[in-house]
Amino acid sequence: MCPPAPAGVTGNDPGGVTVAMRLFSLALNPAADHAAGYGVAQSAVLDDDQMQAAAAEIRTWPGYAPTSLVSLPGLAAALGIAELHYKDEGTRFGLGSFKPLGGAYAVFRAVARSVAERTGEMPSSRELLDGAHRDSAGGITVCAATDGNHGRSVAWGAHTFGCRCVIYITESVTPAREQAIAAFGAEVVRHPGSYDDAVRAVAERAEREGWLVIPDTSDGSSVTVPRDVMAGYTLMAEEAIGQLPEGRPPTHLFLQAGVGGMAAAVCAKFWRTYGHQRPFTLSVEPAQCACWYHSLIAGHPVAVTGEIDSVMAGLACGEVSRLAWPILHTGADAAMTVEDPLAPEAMRLLAAAPHGDLPLVGGESGVAGLAGLLAVAGDVPARRTIGLDHSSRVLLFGTEGDTDAENYTLLVGRSGAEVRYSAAAFTGEHQ
């Protein structure tokens, strides 16, 4: 059990951006080594071949399209930075989040490996999609624990590649998120306790039943599947790198973290691409489930216990992924926590776009990076600590849209559909 996060810092309002309560914590990572190369420890987690193989594979899938990288110059000016870019994952494969890049890719790999064990040949995704191994694939059950988006992506992957699927959800997962998983034909089991409890329960059940577990985290004992998940996530970073303005890479990345797989994958891609010139990288977590914040300060993985619950449901994890650790342990330059009310504030800000930018639909967990930026941008000492100034170029990954449409409407006061309607009108006016 670790101590509660230190009290947040409050600061001046940056250029009219209204954040009712700016409570956050910020700590530099004592083990950060910005000058270090992407070394043996990091390559043992993810190497170039794995990243390239995942990207090449996912690009062939039906419905694949890069998500938009949206520039927000009005908000950037209000925050006193040079550029702000938001990678909008709300449209990824029609599932509303970045997660299919990891979960569905890992399902494909697990099914392909299992078919290969029976047939002696690794099938392509095209063959699986065409039903060439329907009998083999149909005999496989994949399973996963989730607080929402990962389970949806695994269920979609199972539906796409022709196998059975069982998803364990936590007590706090809303009925809307549960239905979204069941809609792909998955059996959904509601498990008491936290996300970490559900991870353990599904692993035990899989062991008994002979199912293939698709975890998005690792306790260190099994790494093959969580590595596939992280390899898939790197495509999101690769797309962003290709979409950023030529010659002006980001100076700062604010990456929301649950178990840290997403943040580590993005950090790895930027590290391999820019070396020691990579952006200053911060992890951002809900204050009450800040396992990365506490682990990075401690210098070793620390489990957070107690009330592991947050409006940022996808980030409500108490234990870091041991697979992500070798990357973020030295690759993250700083760690942040944000209080829950900052997430809905960030959602409303994106939707209202009061600084003349394109209105955007960002979900609770997807805007945590923005919430972190808003908090730091309004605080002079915090800005100084991370070197955020008028020349900074910030990149955010908006990792989900309105994946829970009801909750989105409740928190923002308008539906995602209404915000998208204003976005379409904005685009029409600015063409």
Ligand X SMILES: Cc1ncc(COP(=O)(O)O)c(C=O)c1O
Among 250, 261, 318, 378, binds ligand X (CB under 6 A): 261
Q: By C-beta, is 142 or 343 nearer to ligand X?
A: 343
Contact between 333 and 32 under an 8 Å Cβ cutoff? The reply is yes
Whole-number Å distance between alpha carbons of 90 and 316: 20
Contact between 135 and 114 under an 8 Å Cβ cutoff? The reply is no
Whole-number Å distance between alpha carbons of 5 and 26: 10
Report the site for ligand X in 364-403 (rule: CB under 6 A).
365-366, 399-400
Beta bridge partners of 86: 70, 396
Strands (E), 202-264: 212-213, 252-256
DSSP per position, 386-422: HT--TT-EEEEEE-BSSSSHHHHHHHHSS-HHHHHHH
Q: By C-beta, is 281 or 399 nearer to ligand X?
A: 399
Q: How distant is the alpha carbon of residue 221 from its chain centre?
A: 23
* 130-169 footprint of ligand X as x/- string (CB under 6 A): -------------------xx-------------------
Is 198 a binding residue for ligand X by CB under 6 A? The answer is no
Among 165, 180, 257, 423, binds ligand X (CB under 6 A): 257
Q: By C-beta, is 359 or 363 nearer to ligand X?
A: 363
Nearest distance in Å: CB 265, ligand X: 8
How many helices (H) and strands (E) in the chain? 18, 11
Report the site for ligand X in 20-79 (rule: CB under 6 A).
none
Nearest distance in Å: CB 216, ligand X: 6
Active-site residue 147, yes or no?
yes
3-state DSSP assignment of residue 150: helix
By DSSP bridging, strand 164-170 and strand 187-191 are parallel
Nearest distance in Å: CB 99, ligand X: 6
The position carrying tokens 């923002």 is 412
The window from 64-72, 113-121, 206-214, 261-269 that contacts ligand X (CB under 6 A) reads 261-269
Structure tokens at 26: 């910020």
Active-site residue 99, yes or no?
yes
Nearest distance in Å: CB 309, ligand X: 14
Nearest distance in Å: CB 366, ligand X: 5
Out of 33, 47, 49, 99, pick the active-site residue.
Answer: 99
Is 219 a binding residue for ligand X by CB under 6 A? The answer is no
Beta bridge partners of 255: 283
Q: By C-beta, is 258 or 326 nearer to ligand X?
A: 258
The residue of the chain with the least Cβ separation from ligand X equals: 314
Residues 6+ apart with CB under 8 A from 20: 341, 345
Which residues contribute to the site for ligand X (CB under 6 A)? Answer: 97, 99, 149-150, 216, 256-263, 314-315, 365-366, 399-400
Q: Which sequence positions are flagged as catalytic?
A: 99, 147
